[in-house]
Structure 1
Amino acid sequence: MHKDLEEDVSAAARVLESNWTGRYTVPATGLYPHQWSWDSAFVAIGTRHHEPARARAELVTLLDAQWADGRVPQIVYDIGRDDDYAPGADFWQAPTSGLVQPPVHAWAAWLVHCADPAGSAHEGFLARVYPRLARWHEYLHVRRAGDVGLPIAKHPWETGTDNSPLWDVALERVPPEARTSILRPDLQHAGSGERPGNRDYRRYYRLAEAYRDAGCADDVPIGFAMVCPLFSTLLAVSELALARMAQALPDAGCAAPSGHRTDTHEAAAARVIAAMDRHLWDETLGLYVALDDTTGEQVRRATVNGLVPLLLAKRATTERSERMLATLTGPGFLGGGTFLPSVSREDPAFDPALYWRGPAWFNTTWLLLRAVRALDRDDLAPRLRQHFALAAAEGFPEYLDPDTGTGRGTRQFSWTAALTLDVLLADESGLLR
């Protein structure tokens, strides 16, 4: 291993070791002191290279907090640190948040299994997580099904891209008023110009209060119901991962649960993809857009969320795949600067510093890197890999300025370190390998 590469690998591993609690990895010890759902999935993907047993524990710990209805909660709280983050367990009156996050978990679990099949089989990892992940997906397909058959997010926090312009119009319908005192411990770790504003937070809390007060029931309208292309894409990819698990389970010494077979998950993925093609594709923008389930209208904004479906490009028409690649390399995204912004540079809301309104995020860059490698686009992979070349030098930040590469947000961020490890150490090109 080259010396510089070895140093970066060691630095990333130290971040993950520092943020490991003994049961799971916190996203960052100051700003995010609990277990976050999709963060843990990304952490497991990176940790599998050097600590596969810990990667398995990461996912099992998260799934141990699964609700009876099948949902995997957005946050699992460390009750002893409840005063370090808001809203906390006291707000939810429960040890977890009632919200969810994008379903990348089954894909992560499959990658973790493939990294150490012998250790996975010894622990019975697939047999342990598969039925829980199948119930998680069933929750999304049934309880969260919107009018077009795709899962809806009940809150911007559920999309993982909290203040994306995709949610602006829907949030305008939410009064910027909340009963809860709104604390902003996040501003101790990042500048106000990098975080959503207080008016945004009043709306976030108003929605969270409404959902909590409804008992976190998904059939009660609370004023926000959005279909996100990133969320739907990860559900489809994870269904394909569940298909791999169902196929592998007999070899692991146990059978897949009744009603869950390879073709079941393949069919579920196909339904998601077909609905996305029918309801979320925007030919003019050359990517997928969000859908407001309340009004039935598309939200025609160009964001990285709408490029993540490139992960499914081999199951799409060649013309649509080429159109998305042209958008990715066009002036709004890679063609307009050095790094991949979260919002098109041509969008009026673009801000290179402000959270999900412009900065380059490591997880979405990783998703697009996976996509172009699976498409054998060796010309694009180096453009995306260069994000990770800066990670160690910038202190493993939450995200980068998309033009200068300057680190922004909090530092020593776990998924940045984990996905940097994956980029530096992985040699697979297949999506589900």
Structure 2
Amino acid sequence: MTSLLRSGDVTDTDHDHRALRAAATRVLLGNWNGRGTVPSRSLYPHQWSWDSAFVAIGLRHLSPRRAQQELEWLLSAQWADGRVPHIVFNPAVPAGAYFPSPDFWQSSSAGRHRGAPAHAETSGIVQPPVHAIAAWLVHRADPRESARRGFLPRVAARLDAWHRYLADHRDLGGRGLAAILHPWEPGLDNSPCWDIPLGRVTPAAEDSYRRVDLDHSAAGDRPTDLDYARYVRLARDYRDSGYDDAAPHAFQVEDPGFNALLVAAEQALAEILRAVGADPAPALRRAERLATVLTERLWDDERRIFAPRDLHDDRLLPVAGVNGLLPLAVPGLPRPFADALESTATGERFQLGQVHMVPSYDLTSEQFDPNRYWRGPSWFNTAWLVHRGLHASGSTDAADELRAGILRDAWTSGFAEYVNPRTGAARGIRDFSWTAAVVLDLLSDPREER
């Protein structure tokens, strides 16, 4: 792809933005399967949970109706216990096209007692709860069309059930935070943040499954065979428990990114509930409680960042990942925390403004890898969240500079899944949906209330 947005400064001309918008639109339309949007046509041929939330945020600038449909289709596969599964499988896709496949998860049988839907096969784990944020933004993009289709009334109860599931079933530490049971759940699948708790997991036998991801991506970009075997073991054990959150789990962690996004989502849900004439107070109480416990329980004063807490020994993990910066996106985050996070983001660990976007892991760590999945590369969706947080905290210059970098890197990488933070080189899959989606959002009217 010939660069219109040069590697130095983004040229903010209407021509450049028209070309970038047209290219991003092409990506999203090309990845639409008639009911929802796949992250990519190759490696990810189904619908992913938080991917679709970002897709809807971008689609609202093209077609608010399609953005609504994106979320509605995802939520139609919600389980009766309230969980929103991280994958909704397309039955038209051959079973061998992706692993773990529907045959592995066995949602309609193993998840039957948890209320897994009979009409759709899904995974059994979850992803970050960004859906209420997306739904509220989608509604506000065209309130008249939203009202005509009854969008908010249709999704409000489902979103409330989703948040209640996290509050009622995932508070495994007993302090009010949602726990994750698998490294795939916080979205930062292969991050060094999970190395310590993951090291306790007995790996699955490598001859018991076949990795399909390596058919589409370079092995150096993907998780190692040992880590992948541990992911499979965790998912298999959870499945064999009947997806029982109260069963013993080898991996139980309170993640700051997951919980920060839940705070923001609870506040968005309160707006949705208010708009449909329901009581927003329970969602607001949950948001206030979460925000308080987040700062009390997950703040690492030594590293000046939020850190995951390993429930195995109830200790903060000695790590610094982009998930620790995501509380910037919490509305009303106390000023001392916001200032400390911005200082950390611009410091040696993440070098915001000096590298491409926001590295997914501490640049100074021995575990940092600029190319391997979530172990260092910069991702577009987390950069968008940090951008949103910087704007909310009043750091508009840093936010604007990050915005320019996101747009530049999306164009020059061919809408890559992620990039090397030092060089900007494209890594992973190209024509990736959430990359295109956040570009469309950042190209929208900057005066729009966000």
Q: What is the TM-score with the length of structure 2 in the denominator?
A: 0.91
2:229 matched to 1:202?
A: yes
Among 167, 177, 190, the residue aligned to 1:141: 167
CA contact (8 A) 1:349 1:357 kept: yes
Match of 2:37 in 1: 25
Q: CA-to-partner distance for each residue in 1:190-242, whole Å, 9 max, x for gaps?
A: 21111001111110011111000000010001201111111001110000001
> What is the Cα deviation at residue 383 of structure 1?
2.8
**Greater CA deviation, 87-96 or 383-392?**
383-392
Match of 1:118 in 2: 144
CA distance in 2, matches of 1:360, 1:179: 30
Seen in structure 2, the aligned counterparts of structure 1 residues 275 and 389 have a Cα distance that, compared at 3 Å, is same
Match of 2:88 in 1: 76
Seen in structure 2, the aligned counterparts of structure 1 residues 223 and 180 have a Cα distance that, compared at 3 Å, is farther
CA contact (8 A) 1:229 1:288 kept: yes
Seen in structure 2, the aligned counterparts of structure 1 residues 330 and 305 have a Cα distance that, compared at 3 Å, is same
> What is the Cα deviation at residue 304 of structure 1?
0.5
CA distance in 2, matches of 1:213, 1:426: 49
> What is the Cα deviation at residue 166 of structure 1?
1.2
Among 184, 194, 197, the residue aligned to 1:167: 194
What code does the residue aligned with 2:151 have? F
CA contact (8 A) 1:178 1:203 kept: no
Match of 2:282 in 1: 264
2:272 matched to 1:245?
A: yes
2:203 matched to 1:185?
A: no
2:122 matched to 1:108?
A: no
Q: CA-to-partner distance for each residue in 1:5-25, whole Å, 9 max, x for gaps?
A: 101000000000000011100
**Root-mean-square deviation (Å):** 1.4
2:385 matched to 1:358?
A: no
Seen in structure 2, the aligned counterparts of structure 1 residues 180 and 103 have a Cα distance that, compared at 3 Å, is farther
> What is the Cα deviation at residue 179 of structure 1?
7.7
2:106 matched to 1:93?
A: yes
Among 139, 152, 156, the residue aligned to 1:130: 156
Matches within 5 A, 1:189-338: 189-249=216-276, 255-256=277-278, 261-312=279-330, 315-335=332-352, 337-338=355-356
> What is the Cα deviation at residue 180 of structure 1?
6.7
What code does the residue aligned with 1:311 have? A
> What is the Cα deviation at residue 337 of structure 1?
2.9
Structure 1: runs of 5+ lacking an equivalent: 250-254
CA distance in 1, matches of 2:145, 2:384: 26
CA distance in 1, matches of 2:220, 2:267: 39
> What is the Cα deviation at residue 178 of structure 1?
3.7
CA contact (8 A) 1:370 1:429 kept: no
SS of 2:80's equivalent in the other structure is coil
Q: CA-to-partner distance for each residue in 1:67-108, whole Å, 9 max, x for gaps?
A: 010000010001221221000101112310001100000000
SS of 2:179's equivalent in the other structure is coil
Among 40, 52, 61, the residue aligned to 2:64: 52
CA contact (8 A) 2:356 2:378 kept: no
**Greater CA deviation, 63-72 or 318-327?**
318-327
Seen in structure 2, the aligned counterparts of structure 1 residues 150 and 180 have a Cα distance that, compared at 3 Å, is farther
Match of 1:252 in 2: none
CA contact (8 A) 1:374 1:429 kept: no
CA contact (8 A) 1:180 1:205 kept: no
What code does the residue aligned with 2:257 have? L
> What is the Cα deviation at residue 392 of structure 1?
2.4
What code does the residue aligned with 1:117 have? P
> What is the Cα deviation at residue 416 of structure 1?
0.4
CA distance in 2, matches of 1:421, 1:316: 27
What code does the residue aligned with 2:101 have? G
CA distance in 1, matches of 2:280, 2:140: 17
CA distance in 2, matches of 1:232, 1:429: 26
CA distance in 2, matches of 1:353, 1:347: 14
Structure 2: runs of 5+ lacking an equivalent: 1-12, 108-120
* Percent identity of paired positions between Structure 1 and Structure 2: 47
Deviating beyond 4 angstroms after TM superposition, the runs of 4 or more aligned structure 1 residues are: none
CA contact (8 A) 1:373 1:429 kept: no
CA distance in 2, matches of 1:421, 1:145: 35
> What is the Cα deviation at residue 52 of structure 1?
0.7
CA distance in 1, matches of 2:133, 2:237: 32
SS of 2:316's equivalent in the other structure is strand
Match of 1:405 in 2: 424
Count of matched residue positions in the alignment of Structure 1 and Structure 2: 421
CA distance in 1, matches of 2:17, 2:59: 17
CA distance in 2, matches of 1:180, 1:119: 51
Q: CA-to-partner distance for each residue in 1:271-323, whole Å, 9 max, x for gaps?
A: 111111111001111110001112111112111000000112x5233222211
SS of 2:250's equivalent in the other structure is coil
CA contact (8 A) 2:356 2:409 kept: no
CA distance in 2, matches of 1:337, 1:22: 38
> What is the Cα deviation at residue 177 of structure 1?
2.5
CA distance in 1, matches of 2:333, 2:422: 31
Q: What is the TM-score with the length of structure 1 in the denominator?
A: 0.95
